[in-house]
Amino acid sequence: WFARIPRAERDAIFGLVEDFQKDTSKPKVNLGIGVFRTDEDKPYILKCVQKAEEKILKKRMDKEYSPVAGFEIFKKLSMDFTFGKSSVFNKPGRHVTFQGLSGCGGLSIAAQFLRMFYPGRKMVYISDPTWPNHQNLFNKLGLKTDTYRYYDAENISLDFDGMMEDIHKMPYRSIILFHASAHNPTGFDPTEEQWKEITEEVKKRKLYVIMDNAYQGFASGDLNKDAQSFRIMAKRRVNMVLVTSYAKNFGLYGERVGATSFLVDSKHEADKILSQLILLIRANHSNPPLHGARIVEEVFTDPCLTKLWIEELKIMANRLKSARKQLLQKLKETGSSRNWDFITKQIGMFSYTGLTKEQIIRLQKEFHIYMLTSGRLAIPGITSKNVEYVAKCIHKVTS
Ligand code: LMR
């Protein structure tokens, strides 16, 4: 029966990484996956992470199982980081938090929990477009998905009116997913005022919110600004689960570390929810890994490391801003008749370029520049060395 299994489509992002690695041409440029790179095109291990690891090593800690939902201290620190120390939800009985396997693992447990217990409409509305794995993840775990408008292709901007209209039409008690900051793939986020409007509409429709928080601190370099979406919603008591990943903001991609928090009303609710989450986690991965969580804990509890981390977040955010500026500048220098100004208006890892599938295939085949066929370009792959080459090739395929 193995032979009868249909072949699945390759993952759009990791499939492209394989293609890039196999390509022996020079120059070649990887603008596919969203991982931070230095201007020398190297992975960046944060200094605060290295220092935390040195401290951990000295402590000669054991390698016992961590609690199924993660350590209490880690969960508490994650709540302090996300909702803030003074949030009404940052108290026992007002949240149920577990250590997830980064964003994907947190979303996966949250999805399974909602599929089993959510009493409303089990339909998750995701933005059009969104991170390619959202739809895959929810569908594989038994939750249907539908989309809401998010992106205005003509003007290369956020389609705020379209989004509001679509939310307004959503059946009561549906589930909606938002990107907390640095929307992947478009790089366009609602403003603070717009988040407030969204919040009111979400309340009117009594929607349940899944907030995907993959870039807090990394998006703008400001921990609070990148948290405004879900803090605004929490203040208005929107029903929500916040799924935080520490992959990008700590550069801990492969450590799979994150925290997921359900906001609840009482200790009675919290205890029951936690008991079910523990069963689910036990059936999925049993216990979360230790190392990444220890690093995050160390950085959050040591004031010197926290300070260093905040500096490094700014360095990463600024490096991406500067790569955007350079790319825009070089595109202008090619004499391109297109308006590329949107590149510096977007934020975070990605630029949604409006390039067509055909143009992107040409970029890959002729120039060995790898991007997702959706038009998403990963900004960290742009360096001072390759920016001119990339700009010239983009100009060639678009003129
Ligand atoms: C991306 O969107 O490229 C990253 O978030 C990596 C991933 O897991 O897809």
Q: Quick one: three-class SS letters along 323-357?
A: HHHHHHHHHHHCCCCCCCCHHHHCCCCEEECCCCH
| Active-site annotation holds for 321 | no
Tell me how far the alpha carbon of residue 13 lies from the centroid of ligand 1, in angstroms: 7
Q: How confident is the model at residue 162 (pLDDT cuts 50, 70, 90)?
A: very high
Atom of ligand 1 nearest to the CA of 33: 3
Distance separating alpha carbons of residues 186 and 347, to the nearest angstrom: 9
- Does residue 33's CB lie within 6 angstroms of at least one atom of ligand 1? yes
Interval 78-105: pLDDT, tens: 999 999 999 999 999 999 999 999 999 9
Share of the chain above pLDDT 70, in %: 100
For residues 153-163, give the mean pLDDT.
Answer: 96
Tell me how far the alpha carbon of residue 239 lies from the centroid of ligand 1, in angstroms: 26
- Does residue 184's CB lie within 6 angstroms of at least one atom of ligand 1? yes
The residue to mutate among 16, 31, 33, 351, having the most atoms of ligand 1 within 8 angstroms of its beta carbon, is 33
pLDDT the model gives residue 194: 98
Catalytic residue selected from 131, 195, 309, 340: 131
| Torsion angle of the four alpha carbons 246, 127, 178, 268, in this order, in degrees rounded to the nearest 10 | -110
- Domains of the chain, CATH where assigned: 11-44+317-398 (3.90.1150.10), 65-301 (3.40.640.10)
Distance separating alpha carbons of residues 56 and 33, to the nearest angstrom: 30
Tell me how far the alpha carbon of residue 30 lies from the centroid of ligand 1, in angstroms: 13
Q: How confident is the model at residue 378 (pLDDT cuts 50, 70, 90)?
A: very high
Interval 47-57: pLDDT, tens: 999 999 999 99
- Does residue 131's CB lie within 6 angstroms of at least one atom of ligand 1? yes
Burial class (CB in 10 A: 0-12, 13-18, 19+), 199: buried
Interval 283-319: pLDDT, tens: 999 999 999 999 999 999 999 999 999 999 999 999 9
| Active-site annotation holds for 131 | yes
For residues 257-279, give the mean pLDDT.
Answer: 98
Question: Average per-residue pLDDT in the chain?
Answer: 97
- 75 contacts 97 by C-beta, under 8 angstroms: yes
Tell me how far the alpha carbon of residue 9 lies from the centroid of ligand 1, in angstroms: 17
For residues 261-279, give the mean pLDDT.
Answer: 97
Distance separating alpha carbons of residues 70 and 100, to the nearest angstrom: 8
pLDDT the model gives residue 379: 98
For residues 346-357, give the mean pLDDT.
Answer: 96
pTM for the whole thing? 0.97
Q: How confident is the model at residue 241 (pLDDT cuts 50, 70, 90)?
A: very high
